[in-house]
Chain A
Amino acid sequence: MSSSNEHRAANQLLERYLDPLARWSPKDSKRLTALLAQHESVRRQYDQAIVGHRMMLGLAADTPSALELRRMEAAVVEAASAPVDRVRPWWMAWGSLAAAACAIAVMWLGGLPDTRPSSAGGGGGADWEIRARGGNDNRLPEVGVGATGVTESGREYEAVHSPLFLDDYLRLETRCGHAPFRYVALVGLQPPAGTLIWYYPAKPEGQSVAVTCSDKGARTVLEDEIRVDASHRPGELWILAVFSEKPLNRSQMEAAIRVPSDMQADRPADLTGSAAWRASAEGALKRQGIPAAVQTQTIHIQAGAHREP
């Protein structure tokens, strides 16, 4: 490797080392250590960058920042922790690749939604049913809800087609392609007999939150990250999203959303699971005369924390 190549390689590694949101692995640490060991000029490059960074933070040249200490800790601890923590069998690696490919292919948002088309018309009020464009129910719905897992270190992972981990955080996102329905309320439920988990509104006095809508289906990231272990347990989690024209308060939502043991009267007999839950909510909202579109998403919660690659 020529000297300039070494400097470029070291520079790349240094940029990652100092980037708090980038992952720093033992492998990265090893590569940087090797470059430092072999080239005095790279060591000077390292010293300049590190001292410069410390100066910008107002630290003395020989005082590492908390970020640097986290890097050192990550490299040392990860390299030394029990192998069962780190080694994955080859089939799991291939499985992850396949899962990622599937996730990309299907699209995370609105991907694999509950496929039951909304029951048309009937009930009181306007015909507020949200249907797929062109009346083709096989196409993606105009509203959707997505879930992202976020690790303690801030790394994000897809949590709809792969498990969400109990020790991580849950972040919800919406997709809205129907402009009038620009408010969303989100509730979780863990079957078979779970209690309701209120995401939005989180507090009894709260209301549903505004989201962005556009004809093409605008995406809105709801910024709260919910600590999963605070209110969830391993197993299936249904998330129900109610998109409405006006913000809904908690009592309106409570009137519409039943737990499974209490929703027999509202759902069609042929539906089960989250589809039944959705149908139950649609029926109740319709009876209240609230124009709304309802969508559900099912995710799976697993014990532990997401293992970073």
Chain B
Amino acid sequence: MPASEQRTLHRIRVVFLHWVFDETRPRGEGMDGMREGESPASGKGHELLPEDRSALLAFRGGERWALAAVFRAYVPLVRTIVRHGFSGFRGFSNPADQDDMVQTIFAEAFDQRSRMRYDGLKPYSAFLRGMAHNKIRQRLSKDTRFARTDGAPEPSNPSRQTPEEALLEHEQRQIMANFRASITDPVESTVLNQYFIDGIAEESIAKELGITRYRVRKVIAHLHQRMVKRMRECDVLLK
């Protein structure tokens, strides 16, 4: 990989990790109160596009590494818009809508015509924000994508309930919340935090723990199995 690409990816990783750490803070202490204009996507003033010309060219050409770099750099901005809304729209409340909207916006942004439409002069965050607003407006006005065909009732969403309370029974929440405490092995605990939450690469985790990458993957697989088992016990996944 050329040195310029490596430098770009390194910079993105730093910004991404910075954001991930912020995201994992309890509500109110991290990103949740952030205004749109303060998106960490810009890395406190830094914009991947158009500042990094090699990334810009590769992005326009649809190169995978550049698309990945742009996704990582700007997903915090898009998630903020989707969760917190804009101009009277209060944001999507449930994960299915949020996750789908984030992917829909990026799919649109990564379409060849959209990539070519970006002039490469203005900050990409402004361009992406405009596109996100349009996409959300379209969704809200059409509302056909979520047309209900199975006769299920409208979901009740009492305003005083947290999403956890709205979705899961008290006992289920208890069991889920206790999972982290059940991980007492220091290696497993580190892998859980660094891999599943912080998004740190297996290789870096292996280096820090002084074990092989293969062993890290074994731990990841083991943790995943335990999580799936617990989710089945709680009827969150089918048995």
Chain A residues whose CB sits within 8 angstroms of the CB of B1 once the complex forms: 167
In contact, A59 and B231 (Cβ under 8 angstroms): no
Main secondary structure of the interface of A (DSSP, over half): helix
Contact of B195 among A66, A68, A78 (CB under 8 A): A66
In contact, B238 and A38 (Cβ under 8 angstroms): no
Count of chain A residues with Cβ under 8 Å from any Cβ of B? 68
Q: Does B11 contact A (CB under 8 A)?
A: no
In contact, B212 and A225 (Cβ under 8 angstroms): yes
In contact, B236 and A43 (Cβ under 8 angstroms): no
In contact, B195 and A20 (Cβ under 8 angstroms): yes
Given known pairs A18-B228, A60-B26, A76-B106, the reply for A44 and B167 (CB within 8 Å) is yes
A48 to B111, CA, bound (A): 31
Given known pairs A66-B20, A82-B63, the reply for A55 and B198 (CB within 8 Å) is no
In contact, B197 and A51 (Cβ under 8 angstroms): no
Main secondary structure of the interface of B (DSSP, over half): helix
How many A-B pairs with Cβ below 8 Å? 197
B171 to nearest A CB, angstroms? 12
Given known pairs A40-B150, A59-B24, A76-B107, the reply for A81 and B62 (CB within 8 Å) is yes
Q: Does B140 contact A (CB under 8 A)?
A: no
Chain A residues whose CB sits within 8 angstroms of the CB of B68 once the complex forms: 73, 77
Contact with A along B133-172 (1 / 0, CB 8 A): 0000000000001111110100100000011100110001
Contact of B146 among A37, A49, A51, A52 (CB under 8 A): A37
Chain B residues whose CB sits within 8 angstroms of the CB of A75 once the complex forms: 103
25 contacts between A and B (CB under 8 A): A14-B237, A19-B224, A40-B148, A40-B155, A48-B167, A49-B231, A50-B99, A52-B231, A55-B168, A55-B173, A55-B176, A58-B177, A58-B180, A59-B197, A62-B163, A67-B195, A67-B196, A73-B68, A73-B75, A75-B103, A78-B64, A80-B107, A80-B110, A82-B61, A150-B213
Minimum-distance CB pairs A-B, first 4: A66-B199, A80-B110, A61-B163, A223-B212
